[in-house]
Chain A
Amino acid sequence: MKEITLKGNSLIRFCSVLLLLFALIFGPIFTHFVHAATATVSVFPSTVTSSVGQNFSIDVKIANVFDLYGWEFKLSWNPILLDAVNVTEGPFLKQGGDTIFFNKINNTEGYLLVDCTRLGEVPGVSGSGTLATVKLYVEGTGESILDLYDTILVSSDEQSIPHQSTDGYGYFAPLHDVAVISIVASPITVLPGQAIHINVTVQNQGSYAESFDITAYYDTKIIETQSVSLGIGASTILTFTWNTTGINKGDYTLSAEASVVSGETDTTDNIKVDGIVTVLSFGHDVAVKGVTPYKTIVGQGYPLTIYVAAKNYGIFTETFNVTAYVNSTIIQTKNVTLTSGNSTTIKFTWNTTSVAKGNYTISAYAWSVPGETDIDDNTHIDGTVAITIPGDVNADGIVDIEDIVICAVAFGSKPGSPKWNPIADLNGDGVIDIEDIVIAAIHFEERDC
């Protein structure tokens, strides 16, 4: 046999030719595989668990599809266990532009049919994503296949796209669910020693009769625990009596908690916090409950509104003065009249013109009334307010792009809107608008020396 020996350049040429041949032969095949990786249509998640009386959603997802122009599928289930609530189009096909989406739900036979197509002379969409989302309601206990069938995928040249489809499966358990529905207290203002009756409405929202405990609280302290047994769907009102003997004067938050029953998953409604009751003190007693500045960073020369909450904890109607302070400097004094157990919010305006830049502590003082003995709560101190260069929204000593950005992000907002940020309301007029941006722009690049 003749031995063939390849050396140097010959070897390189030989390898190059081999590589070229390999590319020519297998290249198209690999390319084909890239596009022809079988598309799949599947139920996601493939296994779902839910409880009777609950809704759950599944997605019908597609993966590895190339040039998808239209799709259709049917999904069936055990109609004794499930009802379809709705079907919505997923984002996959419409990422390329307009689509049209139709569905038909047959809850008697337990199936739905969904169609979707792109519109016009446009290419299909490639890749992976969600075709549709199906929301179902669990009516009964058991298991059901979520059978994805008669799936059709059509390309933009009106050819069938080969694919595989994968079903889902659901397990539907009976529901254990108890809840506190409401808390109603009466009376809501008492003298120490008086009883407060608290009516707590509880409900069994599950599909089993349940026995469970209900505990009523004032703040974090237990008032009483009671046990109750409720049939399916039943509710009842439990009355708790809170004897306020020995309770200090003040405001207390009431809540009630239902113990978690075995197998319960929805526990968010087992606790209800609702209502504040006031325990008064005998005699004369006024207090400042809170001091809240409109914002904590204020441009020098712009007014700051400060809200002071005052309350009368005594048993007499009182007329008294409330003074707001910045450090030890009086901002304003206002006179209020409050009946027993009532409170009010007083608005003060601090004119910051000629106030030096820096941090200031704000506080308020309710002048003691004749006969008042507990004056500890007549004073309330609440943090600091920074006086800065107008426009220095973040109080870092310079008006720069960061401040502009903070204003821009909150632009157009008012108190209560999601973007609202009071420090961006430079002129304090209750809206973040062009006037605030102008203030920041006028002082742009100013800095504390």
Chain B
Amino acid sequence: MRKAIAMILLAMLGIASFSFVTTLAGAGTQFEGTWVRMGGIITQWGSKPVFGWIGAHAGMVNKSGTYHEWARAHAIWSGDRPRLNCTKPPLENFTFTLYAAKLINTTEVAFNYSGYHFYISGLWNVVKITTTITVFLNETTGQLIGIDIHREFEPIVTEAQGELGVLLNPLYRFELSIEGIDLLSGFVRFFDIRHVEIKICDINDDGKVDLWDLVKVAKRYRAVPGLWTYVHEFDLNFNNEIDIGDLTSIAANIGV
């Protein structure tokens, strides 16, 4: 059984690699721009096993003869995998710690650079977030009726130089090295490269931003990492909470 699954995964990776190579093969063609979106699972922090998510979104655009590139990237991780990756509402109070890194200033976005297939460098902020969740349960049924969230933010490094490198075929690995903290690494969950704009707010990836995207994120409103409702991809402004800012970002792009 395991062998069969492994074969299927290898086949999928092969197809994905092929499509990537094909896409890069067209890189000599004159495009208005190239957009990249990637997501990954963080598995290692230095020598420690951790769990977390990384997401990046970049563009290299030649608009009316003016070239500019930009990138957004964010990672959150924790040593408490069951808590960060939980899928059910909590039924008791808890406190847990996670870390979040956010790219705040991009200096380089490139393909085939510094030994990686894809590369982003820039300045990063890293914070430690201690979240305390207090649950309120129905005394009769024991069902969850309310949650109080308290979070404390402790800066770990600020405006530190960092590099995100992605290795594709055949490894599908990434590394995020930020000065002042240990190396983060893991595997690439998806890597999407297109010559049409990948809209940040197109949550369901149907090519347009509309009510469907808004509803998807609205349903996770006020979710934070550690709660079952938090989805990393929906945290569009990378503030470690699905909030009004994310909804506003989508709304601003509806119909655009």
Contacts and interface: CB of A to CB of B under 8 A. Distances in A.
A119 interface: yes
Nearest to B212: A154
Interface stretch (B20-28, B43-51, B114-122, B247-255): B247-255
DSSP class of B's interface residues: helix, strand, loop or mixed? Answer: helix
Interface string B211-224: 11011101111100
Nearest to A113: B255
B211 A100 contact: no
A117 B248 CA distance: 12
Contacts of B252: 102
Interface in A104-145: 104, 113, 115, 117-121
B97 interface: no
A365 interface: no
A154 B222 contact: no
B219 A120 contact: yes
Contacts of B218: 69-70, 100, 117-120
Interface in B205-256: 210-212, 214-216, 218-222, 229, 244, 247-248, 251-252, 254-255
B212 A158 contact: yes
Contacts of B220: 120
DSSP class of A's interface residues: helix, strand, loop or mixed? Answer: strand
A154 B254 contact: no
A446 interface: no
B221 A119 contact: yes
Interface string B170-187: 000000000000000000
Contacts of A156: 219
A259 to B, nearest CB: 49
Nearest to A70: B215
Nearest to A104: B255
Contact of B214 (A74, A104, A117, A121): A117
Interface in B186-205: none
A121 B229 contact: yes
Interface residues of A, number: 19
A120 B222 contact: yes
Contacts of A251: none
B244 A113 contact: no
Contacts of A119: 218, 221-222
Interface residues of B, number: 19
A102 B220 CA distance: 18
A152 B219 contact: no
Interface string A43-77: 00000000000000000000000000111101000
A303 B26 CA distance: 97
Nearest to B247: A100
Interface in A155-171: 156, 158
A152 B221 contact: no
Contact of B211 (A71, A104, A120, A121): A71
B229 A117 contact: no
A117 B214 CA distance: 7
A115 B219 contact: no
Given A69-B215, A113-B254, A115-B254, A152 B247 contact: no
A20 to B, nearest CB: 35
A441 B254 CA distance: 62
A102 B201 CA distance: 15
A121 B216 CA distance: 11
Contacts of A118: 218
Contacts of B254: 72, 102, 104, 113, 115
Nearest to A111: B255
Contacts of B247: 100, 117
B135 to A, nearest CB: 14
A117 B251 CA distance: 11
A69 to B, nearest CB: 6
B90 to A, nearest CB: 13
9 contacts: A69-B218, A69-B219, A100-B244, A100-B251, A102-B254, A117-B211, A117-B218, A120-B218, A154-B211
The 8 closest A-B pairs by CB, nearest first: A102-B251, A72-B211, A119-B221, A117-B218, A70-B215, A113-B255, A120-B221, A152-B211
Given A104-B255, A115-B251, 7 more contacts: A100-B218, A104-B254, A120-B219, A120-B222, A121-B229, A158-B212, A158-B219
Interface of B: 210-212, 214-216, 218-222, 229, 244, 247-248, 251-252, 254-255
